[in-house]
Amino acid sequence: MFPRRTLPPAAAPIYPRDILSGLRGLCRGSGESKRFESELRDYYNVKHCFLLSSGKTSLAVILKALKELYPHRDEVLIPAYTCYSVPSAIVRAGLKIRLCDMDPQTLDFDFNQLSKIFTPPNSTNPLNPTNPTNPSNLLAVIPVHLYGIPCDLERLKNLINDPEITLIEDAAQAMGGERAGQKVGTVGDVGFFSLGRGKALSTVEGGIILTNREEIAEKINTLIECVSQYHFIDLVGLLIKAIMLFIFLRPALFWFPKSLFFLKLGQTIYNPNFEIKKMSSFQAGMARGWRKKLKHFQTIRSKNTKHWISILKSIKGIQPLPITQITPNAINSLNPTKPSNPSNPSNPSNPLPPLIRFPLLVIEPGLRDKIIATSDRFGFGVMPGYPDTINHIPEIKNLFTRQEFPGAKTLVERLITLPVLPFVAENDFIKIKADVF
By the criterion CB under 6 A, which residues form the site for ligand PLP?
A: 54-56, 82-83, 85-86, 144, 170, 172-173, 194, 196, 205, 207
Query: Which uninterrupted H or E stretch holds 310?
Result: helix 290-312
Shortest Cβ 134–ligand PLP spacing (Å) = 25
| Secondary structure of residue 419 in the 3-state scheme | strand
The CA distance from 303 to 429, in Å, is: 12
Cβ–Cβ under 8 Å, residues 153 and 141: no
Q: Between residues 36 and 378, which has the closer beta carbon with respect to ligand PLP?
A: 36
Query: Which uninterrupted H or E stretch holds 415?
Result: strand 415-419
Shortest Cβ 172–ligand PLP spacing (Å) = 3
Which residue has its beta carbon closest to ligand PLP? 55
Shortest Cβ 235–ligand PLP spacing (Å) = 18
Q: Quote the distance between the C-alpha of residue 189 and its chain's center.
A: 18
Bridge partner list, 306: none
Would you say how long the chain is, in residues?
437
Q: Between residues 86 and 160, which has the closer beta carbon with respect to ligand PLP?
A: 86
Cβ–Cβ under 8 Å, residues 255 and 379: yes
Q: Between residues 196 and 422, which has the closer beta carbon with respect to ligand PLP?
A: 196
Shortest Cβ 51–ligand PLP spacing (Å) = 12
Q: Between residues 89 and 432, which has the closer beta carbon with respect to ligand PLP?
A: 89
Pairing of strands 75-79, 138-141: parallel
Shortest Cβ 146–ligand PLP spacing (Å) = 6
Q: Between residues 67 and 357, which has the closer beta carbon with respect to ligand PLP?
A: 357
Burial of 72 (0-12, 13-18, 19+ CB in 10 A): exposed
Shortest Cβ 86–ligand PLP spacing (Å) = 5
Q: Between residues 13 and 135, which has the closer beta carbon with respect to ligand PLP?
A: 13
User: CA angle, 261 as apex, 256 and 263 as ends, to 5°?
Assistant: 80
Q: Between residues 55 and 354, which has the closer beta carbon with respect to ligand PLP?
A: 55
Neighbouring C-alpha atoms within 13 Å toward the C-beta of 221:
10
The CA distance from 1 to 301, in Å, is: 27
Q: Between residues 76 and 436, which has the closer beta carbon with respect to ligand PLP?
A: 76
Shortest Cβ 12–ligand PLP spacing (Å) = 12
Q: Between residues 331 and 391, which has the closer beta carbon with respect to ligand PLP?
A: 391
Identify residue 432 by its one-letter amino acid code.
Answer: I
| Secondary structure of residue 49 in the 3-state scheme | strand
CB atoms within 10 A of CB 123: 5
Shortest Cβ 34–ligand PLP spacing (Å) = 21
Shortest Cβ 200–ligand PLP spacing (Å) = 10
User: CA angle, 353 as apex, 200 and 161 as ends, to 5°?
Assistant: 100
Q: What is the DSSP string of 84-149?
A: THHHHHHHHTT-EEEEE-EETTTTEE-HHHHHHHTSPP-SSS---TT----GGGEEEE--B-GGGP
